[in-house]
């Protein structure tokens, strides 16, 4: 069943996932000040979010195989709604930790659900293209959520009475020193509305939803024993670790080695990094129509390796240019790895998607290892560790053998 309308719904889900996910970074200074946290205590908050992917992704894949993608997506948004609401009502550190874990759990369930569903409703041969299109929506939301944050904080910080009823509402339900919590009220509302919308959206029925649990579990065990499945898991683990390892440490690197202000120039370079990543998805949409996805992966990964080495060991002018350029070159990696993976097995795509999405925990592991290495040998040596995931991703372009190639 192919449906452009349903593809549009899934693309909007990509947008909402990013909207809920990528706000954590800009909020960190507010979080530290509001709850008087040390840097290590603050670091545990995003870690709890990524930890949820490691904990929830595989069970979510099993759940997709048993009850279908639609029901899992509805449950996912409801869990996210509860997580955001808990913190909105009780804004303190412990509830924030719990809130981020619940929101991360919901996002993990959504990631597991939407990839196999997008493959069905958009077509197998169009999957790589549609997956990159999803990442484009994901990237666009990365820009919008910080803008909403800035708008809210600016308007809520003004003492004058506003004629905007939304601003007046948030002023009444948030404390003066916790105006940023208004974002989590928005998250709770958006998540609840998405649950309702999905309930009334007709997706393709899940085939054989009444299969015995034992048979489903056996299928899952067979997948885990498949070396190809494990290799693609480490592909996702490597990509997310690479993305977060760069984004989390660019600003500190420029501060340590070039004495650049992290709040001005560091933040600007990170912004360029995400901006070029979004721009890269446009080129990916075009290239995937004319070139095999494996060749694109090989070329862009090779360019990423060169850009990383130039960023770490080149002069300042080179680093300021090549760090954001990495974002452009890694922009299609996630989509290509996911599409190659799901098109490499003939069935059980829900369970396989769960295994793949659990690899997002790499986003918690690599930045942490880089920090530990940096304490002993310097941040430049620590970030050189990112060559390992890049080389592994490069290898995928050579050994992958999908059953269906991108159209």
Regarding whether 217 and 200 lie in a shared domain, the answer is: no
Separation CA 300–CA 306 (nearest Å): 10
Least confident of 109-113, 133-137, 263-267, 335-339: 263-267
Greater pLDDT, 226 or 161: 226
* Residue 239 reports pLDDT greater than 90: yes
Total domains, the chain: 2
Average pLDDT over residues 283-302: 86
Task: Name, of 201-215, 230-244, 286-300, the range with top average pLDDT.
Answer: 230-244
Regarding whether 140 and 193 lie in a shared domain, the answer is: yes
* Residue 73 reports pLDDT greater than 80: yes
Give me the residue label for tokens 């990013």: 18
Regarding whether 303 and 166 lie in a shared domain, the answer is: no
Give me the residue label for tokens 């002993």: 376
* HEC profile of 179-233: HHHHHHHHHHHHHHHHHHHHHCCCCCCCCCCCCCHHHHHHHHHHHHHCHHHHHHH
Least confident of 49-58, 116-125, 209-218: 209-218
**Pick from 153, 186, 206: which residue ends a domain?**
206
Least confident of 109-118, 215-224, 238-247: 215-224
The pLDDT value recorded for residue 319 is 93
**Pick from 172, 206, 240: which residue ends a domain?**
206
* Residue 43 reports pLDDT greater than 80: no
Regarding whether 164 and 69 lie in a shared domain, the answer is: yes
The pLDDT value recorded for residue 82 is 96
Regarding whether 190 and 325 lie in a shared domain, the answer is: no
**Closest listed residue to residue 341, CA positions, set 61, 79, 108, 37:** 61
Regarding whether 246 and 333 lie in a shared domain, the answer is: yes
Regarding whether 298 and 150 lie in a shared domain, the answer is: no
For the stretch 61-77, what's the b/e string if a residue is b when 16 or more beta carbons lie within 10 angstroms of its beta carbon? bbbbbbebbbbbbbbbb
**Pick from 206, 227, 259: which residue ends a domain?**
206
Regarding whether 235 and 356 lie in a shared domain, the answer is: yes
Separation CA 187–CA 78 (nearest Å): 11
Regarding whether 216 and 202 lie in a shared domain, the answer is: no
* Residue 230 reports pLDDT greater than 80: yes
The pLDDT value recorded for residue 27 is 67
The pLDDT value recorded for residue 288 is 78
Average pLDDT over residues 320-349: 86
Give the range of the structural domain holding residue 3, as residue numbers without chain letter.
1-206
Regarding whether 271 and 176 lie in a shared domain, the answer is: no
* Residue 40 reports pLDDT greater than 70: no
Regarding whether 242 and 388 lie in a shared domain, the answer is: yes
Regarding whether 140 and 223 lie in a shared domain, the answer is: no
Task: Compute CA distances 70 → 137, 191, 349, whole Å.
Answer: 20, 15, 15
Greater pLDDT, 384 or 129: 384
CATH number at residue 305: 1.20.1250.20
Average pLDDT over residues 6-30: 77
pLDDT tens across 150-168, in order? 778 777 777 655 567 778 8
């Amino acid at each position: 069943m192919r449906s452009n309308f349903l593809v549009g719904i899934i693309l909007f889900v990509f947008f909402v996932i990013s909207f809920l996910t990528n706000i954590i970074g800009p909020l960190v200074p507010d979080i530290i000040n509001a709850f008087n946290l040390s840097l290590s205590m603050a670091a545990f908050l995003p870690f709890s979010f990524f930890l949820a992917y490691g904990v929830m992704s595989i069970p979510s894949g099993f759940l997709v195989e048993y009850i279908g993608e639609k029901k899992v997506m509805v449950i996912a948004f409801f869990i996210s709604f509860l997580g955001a609401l808990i913190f909105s009502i009780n804004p303190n550190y412990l509830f924030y930790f719990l809130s981020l874990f619940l929101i991360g759990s919901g996002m993990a369930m959504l990631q597991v659900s939407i990839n196999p569903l997008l493959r069905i409703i958009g077509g197998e041969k169009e999957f790589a293209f549609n997956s990159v299109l999803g990442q484009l929506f994901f990237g666009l939301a990365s820009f919008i959520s910080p803008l909403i944050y800035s708008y809210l904080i600016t308007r809520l910080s003004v003492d004058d009475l506003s004629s905007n009823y939304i601003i007046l509402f948030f002023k009444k339900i948030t404390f003066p020193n916790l105006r940023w919590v208004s974002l989590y009220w928005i998250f709770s509302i958006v998540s609840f509305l998405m649950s309702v919308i999905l309930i009334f959206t007709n997706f393709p029925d899940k085939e054989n939803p009444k299969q015995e649990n034992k048979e489903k579990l056996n299928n899952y065990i067979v997948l885990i024993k498949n070396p190809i499945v494990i290799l693609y898991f480490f592909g996702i683990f490597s990509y997310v670790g690479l993305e977060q390892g760069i984004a989390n440490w660019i600003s500190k690197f420029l501060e340590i080695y070039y004495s650049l202000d992290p709040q001005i120039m560091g933040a600007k370079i990170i912004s360029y990094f995400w901006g070029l990543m979004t721009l890269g998805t446009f080129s990916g949409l075009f290239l995937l129509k004319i070139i095999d996805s494996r060749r694109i992966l090989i070329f862009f990964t090779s360019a990423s390796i060169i850009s990383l080495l130039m960023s770490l060991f080149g002069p300042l002018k080179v680093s300021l240019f090549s760090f954001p350029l990495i974002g452009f070159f890694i922009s299609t990696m996630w989509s290509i790895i996911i599409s190659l993976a799901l098109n490499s097995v003939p069935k059980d795509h829900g369970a396989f998607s769960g295994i793949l999405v659990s690899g997002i925990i790499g986003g918690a592991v690599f930045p942490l290892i880089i920090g530990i290495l940096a304490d002993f040998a310097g941040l430049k040596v620590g970030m050189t560790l990112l060559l390992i995931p890049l080389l592994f991703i490069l290898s995928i372009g050579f050994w992958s053998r999908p059953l269906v190639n991108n159209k």
